[in-house]
Amino acid sequence: MKPSTISSPRQTNSKSVSNLMKTVLICLCPGIVSSCWFFGIGILLNILIATIAALVFEAVCLACRGKDPKVQMTDLSAVVTAVLFALTVPVGTPWTFIVAGIAFAILISKHAYGGLGQNLFNPAMTGYLFLLLSFPLAMTTWHIPLNDLTSGMPISPLSMEGVRQSLLASFPFMAFDSNMSKELIDGMTVATPLTLTEMASPNAFAAALSSDASIWSRDARTGWEIVNMAYLLGGLTLLGLKVIRWHIPLAIIGTVTLLSLAFYSPGSATITGTPYMHLFGSATILGAFFIATDPVSAATTTSGRLIYGVIIGISLYSIRVWGSYPDAVAIAVIFGNFWAPMLDHFFKPRSYGHKSKLSQLIQGLKS
Amino acid sequence: MSDIASLILAAALVNNVVFVQLLGVSAVANFSERLQPAIDIAIFTAVVLILSSTINQLLFWFILSPLGLEMLKLIVFIGISSILATVLARIVRENFKLTARQQPIGFYLAGINSAVVGVSLLNSSITPSLTNFLNTVAVSAGSALGFAFVLVGLGAIKIRLSTSDAPDAFRHNPVMLISAGIAAMSFLGFAGLF
Amino acid sequence: METPFVSTIFTVILFIGIALVFCLYALAVAYNSLKQRRVQDQIFVDKINQLLPQTQCGQCGYEGCEPYAQAISQGEAVNQCPPGGMATLVKLTTLLNDQVKPLNPAHGQFEVFKVAVIREDECIGCVKCIKACPVDAILGGPKLMHTVIEAECTGCDLCVDPCPVDCIDMVPVTAAESPAWALPSALPDDLNNFPNNVERQA
Amino acid sequence: MSFLAGLFWDKSSTKAHKTPGGIKPADFKDHSLRSQIMTPPVPKELWLSLRQKDGNNLETLVAVGDKVLKHQLIAAATTPFGVPIHAPTSGQIKEIAAKLVVNAFEERQLHIVIAADGLDNSQQLHPLEMYQSISKIQLIAKLHDLGVGELGGADFPKVIKPDIANQSQTELLIINACECEPFISADEALIREKAEQVVIGVEILQRASGANNSVIAIETRMLDSIQALKAAVENRNIKLVLVQTKYPAGDKNQIIQAVTGKEVPSGDLQKDNSILVHNVGTAYAAYNAVIKGQAYISRITTLAGKPLKTAKNFEVLLGTPVPFLLELCGNDTLKQESTIVGGSLMGITLFEENVPITRKTNCIIAACSDWFPEPPAELACIRCGDCADVCPAKLLPQQLYAFSRSQDLENLEDQNLIDCIECGACSYVCPSNIPLVQYFRASKATQQDHLKQSELSGHWKERYQFHQSRLIKDKEESKTRKARVTKSRAANSESTDFSRSTAKTDIAAAVNRVKKRKIEAALKKAKEAKTEPGEGPI
């Protein structure tokens, strides 16, 4: 009964990578369900396409690297990347874009670095950034099956007509005859809800609440706040389950609110958006709780995480308000990831029993 | 005062010398394995860049353009910056022996770094905006900051990636270039900020 | 900018304050590191000399470790020291950021540290080896029996050839190595990533 | 300036200070705490290791075949790192041979094997009720002679380090009763049943070390032990501190910070001996040694694990083989995969089960597959930072892991790998199941080799520099000597203004003188020969 030499801690807790990823996916569900409600099943289609593509590419890469798929595939990290990517890509983008984006994300941004845990940038965001820079228009228009062509009334996205139009948007080859495809173009191409200017006005939320339509029959314009509430709910449960730490989300949300408070003046000519709009009108919540806290690409030390969050917050706000791109979560997160190695190297915490960097610095200056 | 700050930020971040204007990529591409040499060469090149571009700009305004010798500006600029670099490298060699020994020729090459010369060329060619002296200093300081920031950033990435087991085909420079590429994508996102 | 809202002034002051504190801190750090990195000649040579194995064996072509350190500071190659083996090569390459070159085979191979042992009965007391020993590890007077102090001997075998009766032989040192834990999975061997795999790469 | 200087010391509060890091694992202690401490029967053979802490062996005082009595001294210490050992029971010395030792590898040490004769008659003991009567030095000598050594993790042989007893004043004696590791309940059972003896032992240690005040630090979880201690400590000026229950609360630095609230500087407090930390077992051993005069021959060990029918705490004789104890508890060997000595987080998975108990074995676990499964496959590190939160030394295990995988010693030193106490908290929380402790142990081994080698090189460097300076000094001496000789020769040759030409004439004159003398001698001889033959009248 000669056991191989096993190292000392023989007891471990129940946390494992696949558990973490499962909890992340579960916490994303409320957001997905509510966005399905408002933007039609396009979101589900995106997720479906993205997940299948991600798993295929992951299997291919793992086979090439000779790693046994049973262990590596079950850690669902590729699925999480696919879902996050699908949520940021607008509804109704053709499936070829999604597959291309996921290919870039999984192949280049993850497996070129060596697989799980080694990548430097958040794969989902690199995929989205890749698409954003190459197809700026396609990435910022959401095909929302809004108008019933006959009556021009907004139709509920989950009705048969809504589903048909979403399918058309995702799979253009399904347009059998020409007028079907013409129909597609008339679908309301709303600038991504992330930057709807009406929401910039102070009373956007008040108007949304006061309108007679019940909360669920809203059309896409103001539905986005509910989706963000759902993401916030998911994010707080993640925080509660200790899957992520409070440093990054708090830093990002804090910086964005602070900046929007500072540069917002009511009734001013330049609309810089109310803090409410910046938080609930755009993807800040999704970015802060789910995307920026990806442990692999973020900074690992607590002080590093806080500064990482502040950097993302500042760049997020400045690109969205003064920059030329509608929503900057992807750009800000990748910019933050570029900073992460430097933060890890320069902001090492003081280990037990050692003098802090400041006292060493003062001592150095004195001598 | 705020337009100076925005000029610096614009030069450092929005049209970053390395990632957006693709100047000085050769200097950045020789990724040294250790972070300390990368920091040294980054600071050294930043200092050389600021000094040489301000001196070049003054030369351009007060000697070249009055005499109508604008077409000589390329030779003059390269000459001035390489002399400056050699002088500073001499000082480094005297006092910082270890740093000099770690990259014997790195400091001398900083003079003819395409970022250094590129910035002075760009400053002299944009006539309207950079009429007064302070803007030139701001732009060159910004691009120096941007260059140093990218060099140190990639140095830190090199340390981080040295412990990752990327596939053999992507081992050192390919992975570094991919990282630089993705980072450049995010810098492109800042377009139009200022 | 229209009439600045009070929070705008507050944020601007806040940002300028943070920027100032950050610049001061950065300046202090820079000044401190410049002071530390200001390495003059002698300190530089000592810094290199610390990394050499100090066997004073002269296999690198210089008659001691100090002269070799002097030469390295002038630009001599770093891979000339067989007794130092991989450890010294890695340390020197890391310090001097040199190109990675394998150990120079011309200077001989090195397997394990040896210790000189004199067969006392054959020793005629000619004092030649005492003069040759770079670290005074041999005890004895003229025409008296000599012996090597094992703890002090660096194994440089400079004393072997001057001995007329050839009664010194080098005995490998057998260190009682206790079993230690192996790395569960070091980076796979096919990796030659810098700066730490200098060993594998050289 | 001692570590404790200027410490505000309020005797009343039992509140402990916060300490960094730590985890709360399931502690599996209630099984072994159900029953009282039992003393097992004497095994047939006892194996006592002769190895001292610094590597060389004790000096054996008995030969093979001798009969020994219980408590008889059988091996004495040769260096300050050795602790004398006594015969745990009466019997005959069977052999002195190399035997396997508690280790994850195959390591052998020299052992004295005593075949017990079952009579268990002990030699004459001399207990000392009034320990205050003898002086501090004698008390320390009595403790050391009877083999009472520090029983906690550090296992430093001397109870009170001889030099500190008389040097600077020890201000604080801390008795570490925090048994934070799962499965181990030896100390808790000891306090629960023998609180009175432990407290007297603490006073003995306090008197021996001359500490002004002493503290017992105990975890809030051990409720009945706290009750027993509170009763025992009633009228004595020993303070009780209730430490927050977590692993590794029992670590030396954590205990000191919990009691004093000050962070222990890196490296250790050896030089600054104002604080002395001892295990509860040491206090009990001190009580037995001084009050009852018994040598240190037995200790309390927990037997636990699912395959065992009943988990118990035994007062075991040192040197008892492990399988003998496991059978006593009804071990179902089919279900037992491996044996662990120590707790589940810092314990050693034995290479070979048939090894003896030593002074440090506080727990033996029969490990079955469902409580101790085969460690799952190791995934890549996702840098989540859970390990950095729980690390008691506030290090960054994820960075240490990355640098130890690529053996980057420069960065490892920069990240303070030396401060890692190998407590296993990081491997416990790691979601990728990485055996971090094994990585750090391997890197520490290479670090130690490089350190030893660089010390050696430093020594050689000094000798080389001394050699060079000696050569230069010799050269100067010979120069000055030569100059002195020439000066002196020049001094005495001034009077005879010696020059080349005068030398020649002197030599010629001398030669002539000799020749002339030779001729005169020949003439004189010729004259004598003439007068001799005639024998004429004189």
DSSP D415: T
Q: What is the mean pLDDT of residues B89-100?
A: 86
Q: Does C34 touch chain D (CB under 8 A)?
A: no
Helix, strand, or coil (residue D139): helix
pLDDT of residue D17: 86
C-alpha span between A32 and A28 (Å, rounded) = 6
Residue B4: what residue type?
A: I
DSSP tally for chain B: helices H, then strands E: 10, 0
pLDDT of residue D80: 75
DSSP C142: T
Q: With 60 as the cut, is the pLDDT of residue C92 above it?
A: yes
> In residues, how long is chain D?
538
- Chain B nearest C-alpha distance from D193 (Å): 53
Which of B9, B19, B186, B190 best probes binding to A when mutated, by most A CB atoms within 10 angstroms?
Answer: B186
pLDDT of residue A197: 42
pLDDT of residue A265: 65
Q: With an 8 Å Cβ cutoff, are A5 and D344 in contact?
A: no
pLDDT of residue B96: 84
Query: pLDDT-derived band of residue B87, with 50, 70 and 90 as boundaries?
Result: very high
C-alpha span between A124 and A121 (Å, rounded) = 9
DSSP A40: T
Chain C residues whose beta carbon lies within 8 Å of the beta carbon of residue D108: none
> From first to last of its 538 residues, what are the pLDDT tens digits of chain D?
466 665 655 666 778 888 888 899 888 888 888 888 888 888 888 998 888 877 788 888 888 888 888 888 888 888 777 788 888 888 898 888 888 888 888 888 889 999 988 888 888 888 887 878 888 888 888 888 888 876 655 555 565 665 544 556 678 888 999 888 888 999 999 998 999 999 998 988 888 887 888 889 999 888 888 888 888 888 888 888 888 888 888 888 888 888 888 888 887 665 666 788 888 888 898 888 888 888 888 889 999 888 888 888 999 998 899 999 888 888 888 888 888 888 888 888 888 888 998 888 889 998 888 888 888 888 888 888 899 999 999 999 999 998 888 888 888 888 899 889 888 899 999 998 888 999 999 899 888 888 888 888 888 888 888 888 888 998 999 898 888 888 888 777 655 555 666 777 888 888 888 889 888 888 888 888 766 555 444 4
In the predicted model, what is the mean pLDDT of chain C? Answer: 77
* Minimal Cβ distance to C36: which of A262, A265, A364: A364
Q: Which residue of D has its CA nearest to C176?
A: D55
Query: pLDDT-derived band of residue B178, with 50, 70 and 90 as boundaries?
Result: very high
Query: pLDDT-derived band of residue A127, with 50, 70 and 90 as boundaries?
Result: very high
Q: With an 8 Å Cβ cutoff, are A259 and C11 in contact?
A: yes
CB neighbours of residue D371 within 10 Å = 19
Q: With an 8 Å Cβ cutoff, are A318 and B167 in contact?
A: no
pLDDT of residue A200: 42
* A276 closest CA partner among A179, A210, A331, A198: A198
Which of A308, A342, A348 best probes binding to B when mutated, by most B CB atoms within 10 angstroms?
Answer: A342
Q: Does D403 touch chain B (CB under 8 A)?
A: yes
* Minimal Cβ distance to C184: which of D107, D439, D470: D439
pLDDT tens track for D154-172: 555 565 665 544 556 678 8
pLDDT tens track for A60-82: 988 888 877 777 777 888 999 99
Q: Does A353 touch chain C (CB under 8 A)?
A: no
DSSP D263: P
Chain B residues whose beta carbon lies within 8 Å of the beta carbon of residue C96: 98, 101-102
Q: What is the mean pLDDT of residues C87-91?
A: 80
B/D interface, count of CB pairs below 8 Å: 7
Q: Which residue of A has its CA nearest to D441?
A: A7
pLDDT tens track for A255-301: 988 888 877 766 554 556 667 777 776 788 888 999 999 999 999 99
* Minimal Cβ distance to B178: which of A108, A324, A341: A108
Q: With an 8 Å Cβ cutoff, are A133 and B193 in contact?
A: no
Q: What is the mean pLDDT of residues A178-189?
A: 42
pLDDT of residue A76: 87
* Minimal Cβ distance to C152: which of D411, D441, D463: D463
Chain A partners (3+ C-beta pairs within 8 A): B, C, D
Q: With an 8 Å Cβ cutoff, are C183 and D405 in contact?
A: yes
Chain C partners (3+ C-beta pairs within 8 A): A, B, D
Q: With 90 as the cut, is the pLDDT of residue B146 above it?
A: yes
Q: With an 8 Å Cβ cutoff, are A345 and B182 in contact?
A: no
D247 exposure class (CB count in 10 Å sphere: 0-12, 13-18, 19+): buried
Q: What is the mean pLDDT of residues A180-193?
A: 41
Chain D residues whose beta carbon lies within 8 Å of the beta carbon of residue B163: 402-403, 405-406, 408
Instruction: Tell which B residues from 117 to 156 touch A, by Cβ distance under 8 Å.
Output: 152-153, 156
What does the block give as tokens for D465? 């520099």
Q: With an 8 Å Cβ cutoff, are B161 and A113 in contact?
A: yes
* Minimal Cβ distance to C182: which of D406, D442, D457: D442
Which of D381, D404, D406 best probes binding to B when mutated, by most B CB atoms within 10 angstroms?
Answer: D406
Domains, chain D, with CATH or none? 2-41+127-317 (3.40.50.11540), 377-472 (1.10.1060.10)
What percent of chain C stands above pLDDT 70? 85
Asked if A366 and A342 touch (Cβ cutoff 8 Å), the reply is no
Asked if A175 and A168 touch (Cβ cutoff 8 Å), the reply is yes
Q: Which residue of D has its CA nearest to A356?
A: D265
Q: With an 8 Å Cβ cutoff, are A269 and C7 in contact?
A: no
Q: Which residue of C has its CA nearest to D441?
A: C181
Q: Give the residue numbers in A contacting D (CB under 8 Å), as ranges.
A: 1-3, 5-13, 15-17, 19-20, 71-72, 75, 114-118, 245, 295-296, 298, 300-302, 344, 348-354
Does the ipTM exceed 0.90? no
Instruction: Tell which A residues from 97 to 156 touch B, by Cβ distance under 8 Å.
Output: 108-109, 111-114, 118, 120-121, 126, 129-130, 132-133
Q: Give the residue numbers in B contacting D (CB under 8 Å), as ranges.
A: 162-163
Chain D residues whose beta carbon lies within 8 Å of the beta carbon of residue B172: none
pLDDT tens track for A140-158: 766 655 555 454 455 555 6
Query: pLDDT-derived band of residue C1, with 50, 70 and 90 as boundaries?
Result: very low
Q: With 70 as the cut, is the pLDDT of residue A338 above it?
A: yes
C-alpha span between D251 and D277 (Å, rounded) = 10
pLDDT of residue A289: 92
Label the pairing between strands D172-176 and D213-219. parallel
Q: Is the dihedral of CA A242, A248, A254, A257 positive or negative?
A: negative
Q: With an 8 Å Cβ cutoff, are B95 and C193 in contact?
A: no
pLDDT of residue A1: 37
- Chain B nearest C-alpha distance from A148 (Å): 37
Helix, strand, or coil (residue B112): helix
Q: Does A63 touch chain B (CB under 8 A)?
A: no
Query: pLDDT-derived band of residue C122, with 50, 70 and 90 as boundaries?
Result: confident
Q: With an 8 Å Cβ cutoff, are B101 and C192 in contact?
A: no
Q: What is the mean pLDDT of residues B24-44?
A: 85
Q: Which residue of C has its CA nearest to D411?
A: C196
Helix, strand, or coil (residue D68): strand
Q: Which residues does D83 contact at the CB level (< 8 Å), separation at least 6?
A: D52, D77, D144, D147, D149, D157, D158, D359
Chain B residues whose beta carbon lies within 8 Å of the beta carbon of residue D408: 162-163
Chain B partners (3+ C-beta pairs within 8 A): A, C, D
Chain C residues whose beta carbon lies within 8 Å of the beta carbon of residue B96: 37-39
C-alpha span between C145 and C133 (Å, rounded) = 16
Query: pLDDT-derived band of residue A337, with 50, 70 and 90 as boundaries?
Result: very high
pLDDT of residue A156: 59
Q: Which residue of B has its CA nearest to A67?
A: B167
pLDDT of residue B110: 83
* D236 closest CA partner among D198, D291, D181: D198
C-alpha span between B50 and C43 (Å, rounded) = 32
Q: Does D475 touch chain C (CB under 8 A)?
A: no
- Chain C nearest C-alpha distance from D464 (Å): 5
Q: With 50 as the cut, is the pLDDT of residue C178 above it?
A: yes
* Minimal Cβ distance to D105: which of A5, A11, A114: A5
DSSP tally for chain C: helices H, then strands E: 6, 4
Q: With 70 as the cut, is the pLDDT of residue A174 above it?
A: no
A/B interface, count of CB pairs below 8 Å: 97
Torsion angles phi and psi, residue D499, rounded to 5: -145, 165
